[in-house]
Amino acid sequence: MLSYRHGFHAGNHADVLKHLVLVSTLAHLNRKEGAYWVVDTHAGAGQYDLRGPQAEKLGEFRDGIGRLWGRDDLPAPLADYLAQVLAANPDGRLARYPGSPWLAARALRAQDRLRLFELHSSEVPALQACFRGAGRQVKVTAGDGFTGLKALLPPPSRRGLVLIDPSYETRADYGAVLQALKDGLARFATGIFAVWYPLLARTEARDLPGRLRHLPARRWLDVSLSVAPPRGDGLGMQGSGMFIVNPPWTLEAELRQCLPFLAATLGQEGAGRFSLDSREEKGE
């Protein structure tokens, strides 16, 4: 039984990092006229009410998007990301947070397509409602994104972004992420794959970035942002990371511009820090 609901965590530090990468990557894809597909394997509800009981219960958005809201000193890529969140809040008050599907749909042009998967029975109706009337451009599937991804790759356009963003609610998610990326690269070696992962004390979480780096990918970018000091009980998420295969050539420089600012702004108790590693193997 799935219990994870992203509404409790919407707009937190992990969303800031994930959606900064997403918005920057979509902007890069839009620089060329060729069509592309976006596949989101764990789409959630699409957008979230920050004044509702879920978001208010933990209030995580206050230490995430809340610390960026209204600021006019953001590095340019962060300002672009914030502009997308502002578009979901046209009256200027932070009341809703747009999830990855909403951000992706906003970037689409007429020739592009968005494919969304969500397994949680309580999230699917909200996701469907979010895209009611979108027609063939956006398709919502109630099901397992790990399984559904196989049938979509490679996309007809031969250009695309796959976002793999499970809750890691069970240990099985870690192995499923690795297998999905391995299979995805075999089918769509030139595609952009973006994997979100949590920074946790548990062994599977600590090992995942290293295991991702050993997959057969010529180019990757591994970025992490930690905002909280380790807890004595070893529980709780200290931060998160994004592992991007075939990243846009502009992305590393954009992240180097933003990460010091994010570490200083989102860090709690002086614990903000970041890492950014990359690999690019030259072809023969």
Cα separation of 132 and 230, whole Å? 43
Cα separation of 198 and 54, whole Å? 20
Q: Tell me if 174 sits within 8 A of 208, measured CB to CB.
A: yes
Cα separation of 174 and 211, whole Å? 10
Cα separation of 116 and 148, whole Å? 10
Q: Tell me if 37 sits within 8 A of 105, measured CB to CB.
A: no
- Residue 280: exposed, middle, or buried by beta-carbon count in 10 A (0-12, 13-18, 19+)? exposed
Measure CA of the first residue to CA of the last residue in the chain; give whole Å: 48
Q: How many CA atoms lie within 13 A of 51 on its CB side?
A: 5
Two tokens, residue 26: 């979509």
| 173 is a catalytic site residue | no
Residue corresponding to tokens 């998007």: 65
Using only the alpha carbons of the chain, give its radius of gyration: 18
> Which residue out of 15, 40, 112, 165 is catalytically annotated?
165
Cα separation of 253 and 258, whole Å? 9
Closest C-alpha to 100, from 130, 63, 55: 130
Pairing mode of beta strands 96-98, 47-49:
antiparallel
Q: Tell me if 157 sits within 8 A of 36, measured CB to CB.
A: yes
Catalytic center residues? 165
